[in-house]
């Protein structure tokens, strides 16, 4: 009994209990939603894979939580090189898993890994260290050029897959961490003006940068009924599913769009629509609240820690979760273009869940510093 108490105390010493409980609760609800989404398929394989990813993810989170995050800062050059090697490797041996033409997965036998998910964490660590070194000069043009190059190499390799949705995640993380370091709003204004000027030119030459599938996704964002059986089908079915859930939902395993296979990608990209149909507005609010509390907890820890490197890590991880949540839920509601970005802790995907829990491990490591514990 004493040993159990000591073990429990050691666990509590290396984690932020509130943050970890929120993440595990979200992950378990995600597995329940995946079970419902795949029930009509007559197989439990995906539920088993996600459950195994949860167990492995929790173990990885605890291991990372025990390590002083400053040690990762000493290896950022190696981490960045590893990120580049992984993304280059994907271009040669990557495989696709959908009709978008994206080849971002590496076959590992019974499972496949999406390296870009893990590269997000590597990028946050390396960029946080870079920002720590140049924080006082972050608004100087030469410094900004180097910081942009830091992000640009990664984004360019991801766009070659091609995966514009994931590239957008990196850009959002980049900007969020820049602002945390004191980036001037005047540059944002200049960037906004440049975007307005460049957007029409980019759209005129869109065929040179985007595939036909990607172009159609942007077009149906404004009017999904221009191609109701093609590019607009996913969004239309998602809206029908969420709307039919009303306040309390149709009931577990009772969603008509879900169980009758009308809703596509119902266990991955559109898991939120599955939840909205079966759990209703109440269930949807629970999902949003869980993710919002996770993000706010990360930002609270970032605010408390008296260390730039730790602060930037937490801000980067919070921004990663925030963009995923906003984009995924937004596309289910036709408020954002469909990009195939998973909903953290809820969407099926071992790489995504493992990455999310590892990210919480880094936040836990930073959180220990705020409690004044010895490493």
Burial of 265: CB neighbours in 10 Å, binned 0-12, 13-18, 19+: buried
CB within 8 A of 267, min separation 6: which ones? 33, 34, 37, 38, 46, 274, 347, 348
Residue 8 has pLDDT above 80, yes or no: no
**Residue 60 in tokens:** 């990885």
Q: What pLDDT sits at residue 227? A: 79
Residue 99: which pLDDT band, with cuts at 50, 70 and 90? low
Q: Which residue is it, tokens 């993440």?
A: 23
Tens digit of each residue's pLDDT (9 = 90 or more) over 204-220: 777 776 777 777 777 77
pLDDT at 374: 40
What pLDDT score was predicted for residue 373?
A: 42
Please check whether residue 234 is in contact with residue 270, taking contact to mean a CB–CB distance below 8 angstroms. Answer: yes
Q: Does the pLDDT at position 172 exceed 70?
A: yes
Q: Which residue has the higher pLDDT, 260 or 129?
A: 129
What pLDDT shows up at residue 252?
92
**Quick check: 287 and 275 in contact, CB under 8 A?**
yes
Instruction: State the pTM of this model.
Output: 0.92
> Rounded to 5 degrees, what angle do the CA atoms 313, 76, 24 make?
40
């Amino acid at each position: 009994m004493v040993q159990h108490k000591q073990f429990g105390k050691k666990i509590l010493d290396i984690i932020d209990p509130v943050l970890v409980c929120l993440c595990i609760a979200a992950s378990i609800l995600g597995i329940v939603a995946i079970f419902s989404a795949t029930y009509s398929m007559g197989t439990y394989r995906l539920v088993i894979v996600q459950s195994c990813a949860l167990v492995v993810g929790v173990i990885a989170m605890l291991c990372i939580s025990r390590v002083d995050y400053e040690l990762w800062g000493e290896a950022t050059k190696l981490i960045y090189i590893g990120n580049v090697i992984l993304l280059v490797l994907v271009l040669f041996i990557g495989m696709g898993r959908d009709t978008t033409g994206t080849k971002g997965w590496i076959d590992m036998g019974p499972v496949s890994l999406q390296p870009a998910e893990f590269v997000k964490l590597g990028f946050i660590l390396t960029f946080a260290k870079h920002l720590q070194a140049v924080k006082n000069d972050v608004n100087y043009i030469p410094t900004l050029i180097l910081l942009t190059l830091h992000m640009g190499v990664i984004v360019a390799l991801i766009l070659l897959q091609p995966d514009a949705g994931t590239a957008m995640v990196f850009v959002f993380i980049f900007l969020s961490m820049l602002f945390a370091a004191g980036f001037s709003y005047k540059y944002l204004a200049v960037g906004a003006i440049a975007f307005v000027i460049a957007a029409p030119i980019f759209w005129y030459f869109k065929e040179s940068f985007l595939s036909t599938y990607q172009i159609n996704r942007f077009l149906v964002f404004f009017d999904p009924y221009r191609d109701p059986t093609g590019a607009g089908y996913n969004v239309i079915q998602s809206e029908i599913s969420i709307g039919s859930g009303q306040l309390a939902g149709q009931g577990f395993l009772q969603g008509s769009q879900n169980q009758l296979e009308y809703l596509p990608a119902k266990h991955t990209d559109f898991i939120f629509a599955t939840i909205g149909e079966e759990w209703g507005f109440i269930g949807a609010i629970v999902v949003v609240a869980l993710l919002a509390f996770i993000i706010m907890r990360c930002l609270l820890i970032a605010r408390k820690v008296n260390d730039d490197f730790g602060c930037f890590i937490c801000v980067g991880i919070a921004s990663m979760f925030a963009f995923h949540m906003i984009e995924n839920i937004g596309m289910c509601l036709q408020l954002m273009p469909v990009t195939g970005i998973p909903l953290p802790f809820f969407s099926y995907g071992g790489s995504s869940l493992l990455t999310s829990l590892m990210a919480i491990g880094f936040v836990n490591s930073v959180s220990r510093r705020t409690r004044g514990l010895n490493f």
